[in-house]
Amino acid sequence: MLGPSVVGRGARGLATAAKAAGGGAGRATGLAAFGSLCAATFGLGVWQTLRYFEKYEMTEKRVEQLEDEPVALWDLVGSLPAQLKSGDVPARRVTVSGKFDTDRTLLIGPRPPPKDFPREMMGADTAGFLVVTVFVDDDGREVLVHRGWVPRSKASGAPYDSMQARARGHRSVEGVLRGSERMGNSIGASASSDQILMLDIQAVGDALSLKDSADVDARAAMVEQIRPLDRSDLPFTKQLDAFRNFFTTPTTHITYAATWYTLAIIGAILTRRMFAPSRSSRVHDAVSDYMVRQDNARHTRKAGSVLMAVLGAGTYAGARAPAPRQREPLTGPALTASVLVPCRPTAEAGTHAAPADAPTARA
């Protein structure tokens, strides 16, 4: 029988080997999981890099379009029906002559002020509205014109009436052709019924009862008015340079890409330090495995020695034990005669005497 110490050391050796095997599996699982996260982060960086080049080309194309000379609104709209219908509205400068129908005006917002809006005109306001009005040209065709931004305090009362009065009368409007905002579908009208929250041409046109002409879809695009350099009254419109960039600029995309790449590199370094085995750990694992195998071999040899000692002691004890005594059988003529020949009684002492011719038993 193996001693308790031998069994205990063997169990500890097996437990150490199992722990080592489990640690290797856990290291592989962690390396795969965190490695996939690093790969996904690097992929996001690649995606933002591609978006940077795409947005850079779009910006260059828009700058070229804005540098072209203004064209008549309806000539441009009539030449691009399929493109406008798909939502791909070129950023071209257009002109149109006619007058504003100030009675059909919508305030869209609230919206933050433009970046170049004079702070002295803000007052206590932190938000305002986009002003969109129906413009009727000399031929009676209608189009939506985005006139600019007005602070909240100037969007009602006397300031609003004064702003509308200045917009009346015949004029020539120069602006940039644009489509709807790409921030989702339009949101329904607010409680005041003359304000909506999203600059959606279809929704605004329906709210203002915009009329289509026989040859042109009035809801195909809208005109955003350009501010002359010497104008500072309300509503506040953009200058031409403000139309060159998109809401998300190429610089923003490259910043995002650099952020994702940095996170991927940091994650890869941390993953390697946490899960990838170093040289010292590999040496330690090899030494530990060797010690476990040596310990198991030593326990096996000791167990074999104990077993052989037990078997040897049993063999020696069997050889020293005395053999059992053998008893000889009772045989011979005397025993046979005494048993088989009857005795004869004598006169004396009442004893029996054997016949004279009976054989005498051997001494």
The answer to whether 59 and 250 are in contact (CB under 8 A) is yes
Residue 315 lies in a domain: no
Could you list the residue range(s) of the whole structural domain that residue 94 is in? 71-246
Residue 363 lies in a domain: no
Residue 321 lies in a domain: no
Do 239 and 92 share a structural domain? yes
Tell me what the pLDDT averaged over the chain comes to.
Answer: 75
Do 277 and 238 share a structural domain? no
pLDDT of residue 44 exceeding 90, the answer is yes
What pLDDT does residue 195 have? Answer: 55
Last residue within a domain, chosen from 246, 263, 293: 246
What pLDDT does residue 321 have? Answer: 53
pTM of the predicted model as reported, rounded to 2 decimal places: 0.59
Q: Which of 195, 172, 175, 121 is nearest to 151 (CA)?
A: 121
What pLDDT does residue 23 have? Answer: 54
pLDDT of residue 282 exceeding 80, the answer is no
pLDDT per residue as tens digits for the range 218-259: 777 889 998 775 566 788 888 888 888 888 889 999 999 999
Question: With the C-alpha atoms ordered 234, 240, 246, 251, is the resulting torsion angle positive or negative?
Answer: negative
| Total number of domains constituting the chain | 2
Residue 13 lies in a domain: no
pLDDT of residue 284 exceeding 90, the answer is no
Percent of the chain past pLDDT 90, that is, above it, reads 20
Do 58 and 78 share a structural domain? no
pLDDT per residue as tens digits for the range 94-132: 999 999 999 999 999 888 888 777 777 777 778 889 999
pLDDT of residue 287 exceeding 50, the answer is yes
* Start-end of H helices in 68-106: 73-79, 81-85
Residue 164 lies in a domain: yes
Residue 150 lies in a domain: yes
Do 266 and 283 share a structural domain? yes
> Is 145 exposed, middle or buried, given 0-12, 13-18 or 19+ CB atoms closer than 10 A?
buried
Contacts of 252 (CB under 8 A, 6+ apart): none
pLDDT of residue 13 exceeding 90, the answer is no
